[in-house]
């Protein structure tokens, strides 16, 4: 049992950061988002190609 006044690692407060989708404070349950809705919005953006990680020009397929 942890000493009085000290919580476990899971109970320590995190620095509050804004949700990357809407800017509201993130929640522990949907980290780093504020809700399941914003989590789903972000997933949809990745799956639809709205978010893209750029590659180098020479990453294109070469015939041969």
d(CA 18, CA 54): 25
CB 21 within 8 A of CB 41: yes
**Residues whose CB is less than 8 angstroms from the CB of residue 18 and which lie 6 or more positions away in sequence, other chains included:** 24, 25, 26
Condensed to tens digits (0 to 9), the pLDDT of residues 1-60 reads 455 555 555 566 667 889 999 999 999 999 999 999 999 999 999 999 999 888 887 656
CATH for 15-51, among 3.40.30.10, 3.30.50.10, 3.40.50.12160, 3.40.50.11030?
3.30.50.10
Whether the model clears a pTM of 0.85, i.e. scores above it, the answer is no
Condensed to tens digits (0 to 9), the pLDDT of residues 16-27 reads 889 999 999 999
């Amino acid at each position: 049992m942890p000493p009085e006044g000290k919580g476990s690692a899971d109970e320590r407060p995190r620095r509050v950061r804004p949700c990357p989708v809407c800017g509201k404070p993130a929640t522990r349950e949907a980290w780093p988002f504020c809700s399941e809705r914003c989590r789903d919005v972000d997933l949809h953006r990745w799956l639809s190609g709205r978010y893209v990680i750029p590659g180098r020009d020479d990453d294109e397929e070469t015939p041969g």
